[in-house]
Chain A
Amino acid sequence: MASVFEYAPAPESRSVVDIAPSYGLFIDGEFTDAADGKVFKTVSPSSEEVLAEVAQAGAADVDRAVKAARKAFEKWSALPGSERAKYLFRIARIIQERSRELAVLETLDNGKPIKETRDADLPLVAAHFFYYAGWADKLDHAGYGANPRPLGVAGQVIPWNFPLLMLAWKIAPALATGNTVVLKPAETTPLSALFFADICRQAGLPKGVVNILTGYGDAGAALVEHPDVNKVAFTGSTAVGKKIARHVAGTDKKVTLELGGKGANIVFDDAPVDQAVEGIVTGIFFNQGQVCCAGSRLLVQESIHDELLHSLKRRLSTLRLGDPLDKNTDIGAINSAEQLARITALADTGEAEGAERWSPACELPSSGYWFAPTLFTNVTQAHIVARDEIFGPVLSVLTFRTPDEAVAKANNSQYGLSAGIWTEKGSRILAVANKLRAGVVWANTFNKFDPTSPFGGYKESGFGREGGRHGLEAYLDV
């Protein structure tokens, strides 16, 4: 669609961030090479430019980091909560001070639009540390009995879709409750965790309290399986989550898992269409759909299907895909070639199964990993695009006639992480929300997050909650 308005490029400056040519692992307060000297490269998904070379942790490094965390645990857990709180408040403040730098860094390493890292990721990261800082000296009042104790060393493995935010969700409650941490960021997005290590140094955090191991899945597995790890926290795929659940069987390790989803976004015939369209777009195209709680299944009441789809397509035609550092960009790059291949294959399956595919006219940049916003209509519940998590900017559209049918279809999934409801009728919102088997229900909104608000799934979307008072339980011996 030719636009009346043309946009001039409005790129955020890269000069605010200084990426070194190489980084080591962060163990016991020092940056260090991997024991076997291995390194890997991290690239910018929007350009395939190599950003830096980082150390690749192996089992020996995992052992070294766990030992450092164990050594640090005794003093850290014995600190008065009010002192631990002050370290976390310091970290929150430094993140706020450095948030533009971190936003640009995250956009470079992850490929998501600067608009999102600047306005969503980074403010939430700082808020999360600020929130849990305040809990550190109030644990007696958290509802887990008097003087609840930390677990010990937490092994944490996080994904690439919200690298620094997932780090915050893991590290802030762990430290507030007196645990020490070994964290492995995803191999495609290691940089912001390494910058966070520097923030820990600036904050004067005692050595060994936070250790960062960059590396691949083997390092994550070694961390989860390490006998001296007391707590495992994982965010990622359901398949890996199941592996972890098997590995920890018969041990005393406490586990929380935040896994996949196939969120239903239900639009009733009385919904305000323009607002619903915005919510649908936020639900599935935020972060290129690489969100576990994405509203990837649109359930539309049959009577408004055509009208809604017309509005939705018109809206999608106005989305701007391109340079993630451009402040006008809505859709950035897919995080990796591997993820792009997965999305492409699943979308091709959708077509092969007979669903109708549509994308707006959309020019993809010549280098980097890109996927145009995509809709599938004429989708049935049996279609793979209606069942499997695609983790990309692909929306499957299904219809329903009655609220009961909407609920049945929404719940017809192995997952149960998120859902959306769009209607003007309050009692219908409450009735439907009550029947949905999902951990987070957004009514007349979507993809909202807050450190005070517990987040996590039903069924195969995992167990345990992150955020709020509920999020403390995962790190306490209760």
Chain B
Amino acid sequence: MSETTTRLNVFKTYKLYVGGKFPRSESGRVYEVSDSKGNWLANAPLASRKDARDAVVAARKAFGGWAGATAYNRGQILYRIAEMLEGRREQFVREVGEAEGLSKSKAAAVVDAAIDRWVWYAGWTDKIGQVVGAANPVAGPFFNLSTPEPTGVVTVVAPQDSSFLGLVSVIAPVIATGNTAVVIASEESPLPALSLGEVLATSDLPGGVVNILSGKAAEMGPHLASHQDVNAIDLAGADAALAKELEIAAADNLKRVLRPQPVDDWTADPGTSRMTAFLETKTVWHPTGSLGASGSSY
């Protein structure tokens, strides 16, 4: 077979995922992404402050509808994400292998764990309320019910090392409960995250629920941490110095802050703490009255 007959493959232009669309960075900037051996893989968008702000606008716009969707509906959509990922399994095995320098079998295990993680959180959407909510036995004639509600728009600084399983493990708990997310992907290995955007776009997930930015956490983080329309921030992928800086900025409007926690093994049982970190508890009171001779008693 002669060389001229070898088919030249088609490269993918990696783009941001904002408001359900795939824009380039408004700044026009890109940066080179390499595999673990230093070979060039792609030019990823170097997202700017403006891209981050656009992502917040998209996330805020999506919040009402997503938080207001039934838990059953959110669960089905999260499950649909797992279905779509399963179909793209080979692509992600390759991308994760290249990004993290893993053998094919190890990369496959990572992707399988990420798919299973979506399934796990798909099942949580209509159970977390029963686990953390409560009917409170107050000492008086009142109905008193506490229910969890999503806190709002959550900025997620995704883990730097675990570019896909870590990423899924921080996004899924945020949106399972009805929050919307602005995600800063792993700086060195953003490609699996940008490809995840393509999966989300075809999973019935409303545009804007998850927004994915590639670039520098140190550049975008401070703007998102001080943004007055962001309600919370997950610092999973921030180093100690950046985490402190962002936590200080987050105090401006008292964002809920999830500090970086050491994770030895992303495949371990995640528990519920990544969901509860971005939940508010609302407690509603109403008089119960009585049906006695006195009639209504509130």
Contact = CB atoms under 8 A, between A and B. Distances in A.
Interface in B256-288: 256-257, 273, 280-287
Contacts of B285: 440-443, 445, 448, 453
Q: Residue among B131, B132, B142 with the most chain A CB within 10 A?
A: B142
A469 B134 contact: yes
Interface string B117-141: 0000000000000011010111110
Contacts of B298: 275, 444-445
B194 interface: no
Contacts of A249: 244, 247-248, 250-251, 257
A169 interface: no
B63 to A, nearest CB: 11
Nearest to A414: B253
Given A438-B282, A444-B287, A468-B146, A246 B251 contact: yes
B253 A459 contact: yes
A242 B285 CA distance: 29
Interface string B10-38: 00000000000000000000000000000
B109 interface: no
A454 interface: yes
A373 interface: no
Interface string A224-268: 000000000000001001110110011000000101000000000
B283 A250 contact: no
Contacts of B151: 458
Interface string A400-432: 000000000000001000000000000001000
Interface in B90-128: none
Nearest to B244: A250
A62 B102 CA distance: 53
A478 B283 CA distance: 22
A463 B256 contact: yes
A465 B276 CA distance: 12
Contacts of A167: none
B241 to A, nearest CB: 8
B219 interface: no
B254 A452 contact: no
| Interface SS, B side | mixed
A469 B257 CA distance: 22
Given A445-B286, A448-B140, A456 B240 contact: no
Interface in A455-478: 455-456, 458-460, 462-463, 465, 468-470, 478
B142 A470 contact: no
A450 B144 contact: yes
A450 B285 CA distance: 11
Contact of B283 (A242, A414, A454): A454
A448 B282 contact: no
B248 A246 contact: yes
Interface residues of B, number: 35
A241 B283 contact: no
B254 A453 contact: no
A127 interface: yes
Contacts of B252: 242
A450 B140 contact: yes
Contact of B286 (A429, A436, A450): A429
Given A450-B140, A450-B144, A453-B144, A470 B134 contact: yes
B47 interface: no
B289 to A, nearest CB: 9
A130 to B, nearest CB: 10
B48 interface: no
Contacts of A21: none
Nearest to B137: A452
B243 interface: yes
A453 B280 CA distance: 14
B262 to A, nearest CB: 12
23 contacts: A238-B254, A246-B248, A246-B251, A249-B247, A249-B248, A249-B257, A250-B243, A250-B248, A414-B253, A439-B282, A440-B285, A441-B284, A441-B285, A443-B285, A445-B142, A445-B285, A448-B140, A450-B139, A450-B144, A456-B281, A463-B256, A470-B281, A478-B273
Interface of B: 131-132, 134, 136-140, 142, 144, 146, 151, 231, 240, 243-244, 247-248, 250-254, 256-257, 273, 280-287, 298
9 cross-chain pairs, A with B, having the tightest CB-CB distances, nearest first: A250-B244, A249-B247, A245-B251, A450-B138, A249-B248, A452-B136, A443-B286, A246-B251, A441-B284
Given A246-B248, A429-B286, A445-B286, 10 more contacts: A238-B254, A250-B243, A259-B254, A439-B280, A441-B283, A444-B286, A450-B142, A452-B137, A458-B280, A462-B254
